[in-house]
Amino acid sequence: MKINDAARMLAIVGLTCLGSSISWSDEPDSADTLADARTKGAIEIAVYADFPPYSYGKTPADAKGIDVDIAQAIAQKLGLKLKLRMISAGESVTDDLRNHVWKGHYLGGGVADVMLHVGYDAAFAEREKNVTLFEPYFHEVVALAYKPNRIKNVESPIALTEHKVAVEGDTISDHIMSSAYGGALRNSAVREQSLEKAVAAFKAGDVDAVMGPQGELQGLLAEQRITDAVFHVEEPVGQMRTAWDIGVAVKNSGSTSLRDAVANIIDLLKEDGSMKRMFAVYGVKYLDASSALAGKKLARDAN
Q: Kindly report, residue by residue over 63-99, the tens digit of the pLDDT.
A: 999 999 999 999 999 999 999 999 999 889 999 999 9
Does residue 11 carry a pLDDT above 80?
A: no
The average pLDDT across 207-215 equals 97
User: Is there a shared CATH topology between the 3-139+245-296 domain and the 140-233 domain?
Assistant: yes
Look up the pTM and report it.
0.88
Does residue 4 carry a pLDDT above 50?
A: no
- DSSP collapsed to 3 states, the chain: CCHHHHHHHHHHHCHHHHCCCCCCCCCCECCCHHHHHHHHCEEEEEEECCECCCEECCCHHHCECHHHHHHHHHHHHHCCEEEEEEECCCCCHHHHHHHHHHCCCCCCCCCCCEEEEEEECHHHHHHCCCEEEEEEEEEEEEEEEECCCCCCCCCCHHHHHHCCEEEECCCHHHHHHHHHHHHCCHHHEEEECCHHHHHHHHHHCCCCEEEEEHHHHHHHHHHCCCCCCEEEECCCECCECCEEEEEEEEECECCCHHHHHHHHHHHHHHHCCHHHHHHHHCCCCCCCCHHHHHHHCCCCCCC
The average pLDDT across 119-125 equals 89
Which CATH fold topology does 140-233 show? D-Maltodextrin-Binding Protein; domain 2 (3.40.190)
- Work out the pLDDT band at 234, boundaries 50, 70, 90: confident
- Of 78 and 23, the one with more pLDDT: 78
The average pLDDT across 3-20 equals 42
Does residue 292 carry a pLDDT above 80?
A: no
Does residue 290 carry a pLDDT above 90?
A: no
Boundaries of every domain in the chain: 3-139+245-296, 140-233
What's the chain's average pLDDT?
87
The average pLDDT across 129-135 equals 95
* Percent over 70 (pLDDT), the chain: 85
Domain 3-139+245-296: CATH superfamily, name plus number? Periplasmic binding protein-like II (3.40.190.10)
- Of 140 and 237, the one with more pLDDT: 140
Give residue 68's pLDDT.
98
The average pLDDT across 119-130 equals 90
- Work out the pLDDT band at 107, boundaries 50, 70, 90: confident
- Work out the pLDDT band at 29, boundaries 50, 70, 90: low
- Work out the pLDDT band at 117, boundaries 50, 70, 90: very high
